[in-house]
Amino acid sequence: IYYALRSEGFRKVRPYSYAPLTYALVSMKNGDKFYGTWTQATIYRMGNNKGKIPFVDDPAAGQTKMFSLSQVSSIWNGHTRIIKHPDEKYVYVWVVQKGCIFRADYDPEKHLLKTPVLVCGSPDQSGFKEGVGGNARISNPWSGCFVLNPDYVKHPRPDGDKYDFIFTGSQDNDCVWRVTPDGVCKLMAGRSNPNSDGKTWGYIDGDPLTEARFQQPKGITYDETDDMIYVGDYKSHSIRYITTE
C-alpha cells in the first residue's frame, strides 16, 4: 500500500504498509482502513494510526481479521473488491469470479465490519437474470460505484439511504447493472437487440436498454455534479458515458 501527498501534486509515492492487500482498500473518515486479500477473500482492518504518516506497519496497530468469504473463494483464488457507502453506513464486498455481492454494515464505535449478508446474485450460480436478492443472476461483477437516486431524496426511505449501486458485469454479461439498497437488481445498460444477431455484446451507442452494447466493461464511475456515468469499455478500447436527457 502506498500513499501520495496532495501538497506534492501526487507526484511521488511512498510505502504505507506491507500488508498482503489485493485490489481494494477503503478508508473511513475516522481513520479505519479495510482491505481485501486473495486468501479465502478475507477482509482485514488495518490499525488506526490517527492520521500520522508514515504508517509502515506500526506494530502497535497491527491488523484484525473482519471476515472471510470462504464460501465463494478457495485459497489463492479471490479477486476481492470492497467499496464503501458514501455515508459510510456499510461496504459492499464481492469476488470477481463469483456472481454475487455482499453487504457488511460498519460499526464506527467498535471499529469493525459486521457479518456480511447477500445483496444480490448467487455464490454457486452465474448468469443473467434480473431479480431480487438471491433470485438475481449476475456474472463477473468487476467494478462499481454508488449513485444518488433523486427519488430517495424526494421520498425518503425509512433507512435514510439515498444511493443505489451500479456495477459492471464483464465477461458473459457485457452490461451495467443497478441494484437498490433492498437488493432489487436490474439491467441499466447493454445487451440490446439480442434477437437480431444472437449477440449480447458489441460496440453500439444509443438508448441504454434498447440499443447500447458493451464488450467486457470493467470500469465505472459517477460524476454527481453533472449526473454523468462513465464506463470503461475494455474490449472496445473506449470510455463511454451514460446520462439522462
pLDDT in tens, the chain (245 residues): 888 999 999 999 988 877 777 788 999 998 889 998 887 888 999 876 666 666 766 666 678 899 988 766 655 566 889 999 999 999 999 988 889 999 999 999 999 999 999 999 998 899 999 999 999 999 999 999 999 999 999 999 999 999 999 999 988 899 999 999 999 999 999 998 776 778 899 999 999 999 999 999 999 999 988 889 999 999 999 999 998 76
Provide the 8-state DSSP code for 125.
Answer: -
Q: What are the φ and ψ backbone dihedral angles of 75, each rounded to 5 degrees?
A: -60, 135
Residues in contact with 8: Cβ distance below 8 Å, sequence separation at least 6, in sequence order: none
3-state secondary structure of 226: coil
The neighbour count for residue 149, using CB atoms within 10 Å, is 17
CB 229 within 8 A of CB 240: no
Q: For residues 152-176, b (16+ Cβ closer than 10 Å) or e, as one string?
A: beeeeeeeebbbbbbbbbbbbbbbb
State the Cα–Cα distance between residues 101 and 123, nearest whole angstrom: 9
What is this structure's pTM?
0.90
Residue with cell 441494484: 179
Residues in contact with 162: Cβ distance below 8 Å, sequence separation at least 6, in sequence order: 87, 148, 149, 152, 153
Element holding 153 (H helix, E strand): helix 150-154
